[in-house]
Structure formats: structure tokens, C-alpha cells
Chain A
Amino acid sequence: MDPFFLWLESWPLGIWLREAVTIWAFPFVLILHTVGLAFMVGVNVAIDVRALGGASGVPLISLRRYYKWMWAGFWVNAVSGVLLLIAYPTKALTNPLFYLKLALIGVGIKLAYVIRGHMLKGEAGAGVAVSPRLRALAATSLLLWVLTITAGRLLAYTCTRLTVDTSCG
């Protein structure tokens, strides 16, 4: 795999992201990735807390428009994530935790849409009790996002190779 990683690391965009001494390079991409995370996970927190029975005066279905913000956060993070990957391909691609994180994001989004299915059927209207099934889904969703965040954060501490030629830490 090393020749492939070396080739990726030779891209001018990656070199600029790694080496430019300006906050508009690597730091700015990290900021986008953090704000995107706040919106993407944030929308899920709002919907999950409601589906767990919180703020019961809010009909669950009225929150459906927030999915737009979840996708806005997702795309900001897809783009900023690819940029982070271009900057340090070896660091992420040689760490199994990176693939776990991607899988967790996939399951998290799938679950958000299973919950959306319950939402669109009119479950958890204003003042209406939430079914145990929906509660379980919401609790699982919250747990998965916490695990995703943890996996993402741990990437900085569990990597073994920063680039092909340098090791982490």
C-alpha cells in the first residue's frame, strides 16, 4: 500500500494542507469538521431526546425539517473529512478505528431514517406517549453518535503512522 499512500501524499493540495502556515489551511478544515459535527449530531440529539419523551409538547413530526440541517452538517463533514484524508492519508487509512468510525456514521444515518419512518407515521404527537420501540431506537441512536464522536477523537491518539515516512506521536 505504501506506493499508493506516497502517491496520495504527493498531491499539491495535501502538501498545502499539511505545510501551509496559515489558519486557512489545516486549522480551518478542522473547524469546518467540528461545526459540521455539531449540526449533524445536534439534529439527532434534538430528535432523539424528543423520541425519548422529552419536550413532549413538541409533535415529533414537526422536527422533520431539521433533517435538512443534518444533511448540511453531513456534507460539510464529508468534504472537510476528504480534505483531512488528503492531508494525512496514511494516518487514517492504516488505522482500523477509521473504518469503524465510517461504519458507525453509516449505521447512525440509517437509524435516523428508521426514526424518521416512525415520525412520518405520526408517532409521538404532542402529549402522546412514545412507544418502547421508538424509545429504544432513539437511545441506540444517541449511544451510536457518542461512540462515533469517541472513535473520531481517538483517531488522533491511536494512529501508528502519520505519513509513510513518519510515525505518530
Chain B
Amino acid sequence: MWMTINDWIYSVWMSVMQWDWLNDQLRSVLNTLYHTPMGEFMRTSTWGWPLFESLHFTGMSLLAGTIVMFDLRLLGFARAVPVHAMHRLIPVGIAGFLLNMSTGICFICATPDQYLFNAAFRWKVIFITIAGLNVLFFYTRVFRRLESFTLEHQTPPLGARFVGGVSLMSWVGVMTAGRLLTFFRP
């Protein structure tokens, strides 16, 4: 099943890339990124890349420690934790996400082709998008009702469990695709 979806993503990607204008724009953005001082630094420095990777894993841990732990609570785990109060941990996760966007862009600056023509990178972007849409759904539909299920030992409503499950799976998906990047290098 994964291979079928993978083939489908690839064909969509290839047909989008048939569009010359978009292709040119993308090329010029990546070309600009490649020639930034950051790109130069990441390619030439001995310890730049390993250091940024360590930061990327640290950002991942901040995100996992707050957003994934909050997802577990939404799924009904650790019901003694007041949901609304625990939501205050989320800014730490957002900080982790921003740290990873920044370091991630630095990796792309260094070797754009390694990501642009990489099936694992496309999956990673898709999983981040799903997680993002899920966040949107959470804040527009579920968040307002958080107050009403802070009671201990109460089973969280279906909407909360859905959001928690989707978030948990998409972040594990992001980690999986991220780890596979090296093995799908063009």
C-alpha cells in the first residue's frame, strides 16, 4: 500500500514539475539558497553539519516532549493531568518546531538537490502538512471544548482522541521519513 501511495506522490510531483514556470521558480530559490553564506558554511565547516543535526534532534525532543505527550493525554493516557493546564507546555513544542524549521532550511541550503529529488523528503513534507492541518482542526473545533473534559478519569471526547491520534502518528511519520532521507538520496 505504501508503495502505491509512493508511486502516486511521485507521479503527482513529476506532473507538477512539468509546469516550467514553477520549476524555474523552485530552481532559482534553491540556487539562491545554495549560494547563501549559510549554505557555504554548512558545506565547508567540519562541525557545522553535526552540530546542526544535534540541534535538529534536540528540537525533535522538545516537540515530542510537549506535543506528543499532550497527544497521549488527549488519547486518554495519564488522566490525572489537567488538559487545559498541560496545554501551556505547547509553546516549548513550537520552539522545538521553529528550531527544526531553521536547522532544516540550513540543511536544504547546503545540498538542495539531496532533498528536492528525494522520496523521503516528500513524505516528510506531507506528514508535516497533515500535522499542521490537524493543529488547525484542533484550534478551530476542539480547543474551546477542552474546559469541559478536564475532569479526572473522564474519557476524552472523540474529537480530542482523533486529534491526539492523528498528531501522534504524523509526528512519528515525520521522524520516520526524516531518518530515511539519507537512504533515498538521489
Residues of A participating in the B interface, judged by any CB pair closer than 8 Å? 23, 27, 30-31, 34-35, 37-39, 41-46, 49-50, 54-59, 61-63, 65-66, 69, 126, 145-146, 149-150, 152-154, 156-157
Contacts and interface: CB of A to CB of B under 8 A. Distances in A.
A156 B62 CA distance: 22
B82 interface: yes
B146 interface: no
- B contact patch SS: helix
A55 B90 CA distance: 9
B82 A35 contact: no
A34 B64 CA distance: 11
A23 B78 contact: no
A54 B93 CA distance: 12
How many of chain B's residues touch chain A, expressed as a range? 35 or more
Given A35-B172, A49-B65, A49-B92, 7 more contacts: A23-B180, A45-B61, A45-B66, A46-B89, A65-B80, A153-B50, A154-B54
A30 B80 CA distance: 34
A14 to B, nearest CB: 18
B69 A38 contact: no
Given A31-B180, A41-B64, A65 B78 contact: yes
Nearest to A145: B61
B50 A157 contact: yes
B183 A27 contact: yes
